[in-house]
Chains A and B, each alone.
Chain A
Amino acid sequence: MRLEMSSNRQQRLCVAMMRNVGGVIVLSLLLVFVQLAAGESFSPPGTPKNIICRSPEKETFTCWWEPGSDGGLPTTYALYYRKENSDTVYECPDYKTAGKNSCFFNKNDTSIWVTYNITVVATNALGRAFSDPVEIDVVYIVMPNPPEEVTVTVIEDTNWPFLRVSWEPPEKADTRSGWITLIYELRIKLENEDEWEVHPAGQQKVFNIFSLRPDSTYHVQVRCKPDHGFWSEWSGTTFVKVPDYFPRERSMWILIAVFAAFIILTFTFIWLSYMKIHNLKHYVLPPVPGPKIKGFDKKALKNGKFEDIFSSLVVSDFPPTTSNYEDFIVENLEVFVPEEQELIMEDSKDLQDDSIKSENSTCDNDSGRGSCDSHTLLIDKGGGDKEEALQSDQEGSQDERVPTSPEEVMEEDLLACCDEKNSPDISEKVKFTPSLISPLPRYNLMNQPNPPEIGKKHCLSDSLLNPDSLPSYFTQPPSTKNDFRSNPWECNFNHKQHPLHPQTTGKEHLQVQNEISWVHVDRTEASLGVQAPSVRSTEYVEVQRVSGGNMVLLHPVSAGQENSGTMSHQTEHYSRVKTVNNDSGLLLLQKESTGEEMGICLSEEEVESRATSNGYTASITPTSEKPMVGINSTLPILDDRMASGYVDTATMFGLPTY
């Protein structure tokens, strides 16, 4: 019985064991099948990829990697690095600080002097995987943190507000000591836009943004970068709202006003200038004055023929050539032709001063004074008012002595000498006949010392019969006897006159007298200058014949003529033409005896008075009286004339005037 029961149990156990084994096998098979069915395989891990190392401040750095497949098994990662040229392999000291799949190198482990060779290894149960190594130079992997404390403010000082953005470098970056040098960049956009406007900012930490749209919101961001390295991330967005403003209106109106004013002014100016365009034109561009030269032909100028033009301008006479100076100086013979006058007096154009006058007081070739001759030819009535007569004739206050005849002239001289002293007494006596012999101008006996002197000289020389004074003259007279007569009356001051004498022997006396008279006149003339309009051309007049009726025929004397009749004139009639002497053919005006004598006396006196300087003494009388004696009176007419002071011999005597 008991056997039967145990065998049943053994059989039941075996079956159970077999079932368990089978179950296990089935389970294992199932497991295997399940595993096979799932497709997973345990494999070594995949290689890590993309190792990135960055340093925020060049003092530490961190590396990150991407893990590959892990092969289904738990995989661990390890980072190993070697330093430059060294075979020592180091493992990452810090896997945790920087997060998962990272390695952090602290300051002690970071060196800027060497490069790092970094490899990441993935390990699982089945194998390892090595990543590609990465060469690291810490300096070149610097990527700073973004700038901090970015502030944006709206500056509204002016009518045009703008944004001012300011920031600070990241804290870790040591820019203060110069360990890192950062440059910045900012970007801005309107709130509803997508495009950013990027502005580089260099190393500065402030930036201004203009041209804002009013009443809108802006977004601003900043980032930075070291010299060699990477740009940081953009900072957090800063929002700023620009207020609404209307600045344009005011300034724009101002601009418009200024513009309008400017345009108005311009137009006004143009209009004004247009109205007076000619004036303006002339004002701005004055017309070029044309040449105003006599004889200048503008058209010829335009034609361009310069030689013709300039030749027309050339005055051939100028400059004067050298040979004709004498002509200029002296030879201007003044021919005085009064209405009835035959006598022509010659005046010199010389305007000399007193010195010259003294020289030329007597007639000479240089002076060319017709006055020398003309005076003597003038009929001179006795009387005192020689001066008056002269004055009446002349303009101004100057006395004009009008010699009427040669004799007269002498007389005149004497009378002049005398008269001047006793002018009121003998005023009646002397009459001047300016017509006969043109009076030389300005014959001022009174006013001028020189003429009186010369006249005095005349008187003196004449009266004195001073051979010394008339040496030449004395020599000459032998040829012409008459000269001698004239000597006492002559003041031959100027030897120049000699040439005159040979010319006309016949009229020497006349000439002499003329000379003498003209001496006076010359002097005066010289002293006074050639001024008078009353200067009339004078010519030598010679008494041609004397008619019985106390007429003197005068004819103009020309050079070379001789008047024999005159030869004998001389001695007698120097003082005055009073009578007509048949011999002499001269009309001698008779002075009043008293006048004569007085004249003589006066002349004496005058001479004395004037000769004080010269030392002449009056010894005139005998000689002077002589002619006077012979003088007859046929004076009434003449007296009348003399009274008038200006006797026209021609009219008186009806002489033909040549």
Chain B
Amino acid sequence: ALFYVLSVSQWGLWILLFWPQHLTLSSPLDCRDDQGSLSRCTSISQEKLLDRVIHHAELIYRVSEELCSLFEELFIPFPFRLQSNQAAYACITKALPIPSSKSEIEQISDKWLLHSVLMLVQSWIEPLTYMQNSMERYDHAPDMVLNKTKWVSEKLFSLEQGVVVLIKKMLDETTLVTVYSDQNTVQNDVQPDVLESVMRDYTLLGCFKKDAHKMETFLKLLKCRQTDKYNCA
């Protein structure tokens, strides 16, 4: 009991200490990016945030593209290779209420753009993790493939966070962040056929590449709308 009293008092003191600072810091300060300056803005501006999110999405798309081609070269024989416009139906995200045509995209609001992106991102976190695990079970998967897959997985998770923050900033909404679940590990117990798993991973990568491109496109469109509302395509 004494201990609790002490801790509570400590935290009370802590809060009391921070409170005025919080108040003082809440007023907008000059956001300066120069080196050595420790005084920063309280929060990152919306524009900057959007830029970073876009940059993030770009990188993810680029790396996923590299990963896909690398995987294809390494593991997929010629007859099985998918064309760019094929296998879209097999993607897991087709069920999502995401705009897919240009006309739909033009009509969608900013809010739904962001939510679409978030949905995409959130829907891919788990599959990527699964893919990462499955790749690690390959016999002779090169490190590059594994590293890239890992990288993409991590970045995607980071992207999710960014989109959440962005939504909060732009739409003033609070959404939940995906929580890692261990459900995927259950699937790993099953040892599928190697070829099947490879094909599945290959398909997954293809789908992910497309969706990554979608994310990037949505975000860029969003940015375009911020600056010039009527001239975006």
Contact = CB atoms under 8 A, between A and B. Distances in A.
Interface stretch (B36-44, B78-86, B200-208): B36-44
A119 B38 CA distance: 12
A115 B41 contact: yes
A130 B33 contact: no
Interface stretch (B104-112, B154-162, B189-197, B213-221): B154-162
Given A112-B162, A113-B52, A228-B33, A84 B44 contact: yes
Given A89-B14, A177-B63, A115 B52 contact: no
Contacts of A177: 59, 62-63, 151
A152 B119 CA distance: 51
A644 to B, nearest CB: 126
A136 B164 CA distance: 19
Interface residues of A, number: 28
Interface string A100-116: 00000001000111110
B161 A135 contact: no
A84 B48 CA distance: 15
Contacts of A140: 33, 40
B42 A115 contact: yes
A366 interface: no
B165 interface: yes
A134 interface: yes
Contacts of A133: 21, 25
Nearest to B39: A135
Contacts of B27: none
Contacts of A114: 43-44, 165
A130 B17 contact: yes
Contacts of A477: none
A230 B38 CA distance: 13
A130 B36 CA distance: 21
Q: How extensive is the interface on chain B, given as a class?
A: 20 to 34
A227 to B, nearest CB: 10
Nearest to B38: A134
Interface string B16-36: 011001100100010001011
Given A113-B162, A136-B40, A230 B59 contact: no
A179 B62 CA distance: 11
Given A112-B52, A130-B17, A137 B59 contact: no
Given A107-B154, A179-B59, A113 B161 contact: yes
Interface in A137-156: 137, 139-140
B161 A111 contact: yes
B49 interface: yes
27 contacts: A51-B38, A84-B42, A84-B44, A85-B42, A111-B158, A111-B162, A113-B44, A113-B52, A113-B53, A113-B158, A113-B161, A113-B162, A114-B43, A115-B41, A115-B42, A119-B18, A130-B17, A133-B21, A134-B38, A135-B38, A137-B33, A137-B44, A140-B40, A177-B62, A177-B151, A178-B62, A230-B35
Interface of A: 51, 82, 84-85, 87, 89, 107, 111-115, 117, 119, 130, 133-137, 139-140, 177-179, 228-230
Interface of B: 14, 17-18, 21-22, 25, 29, 33, 35-36, 38-44, 49, 52-53, 56, 58-59, 62-63, 151, 154, 158, 161-162, 164-166
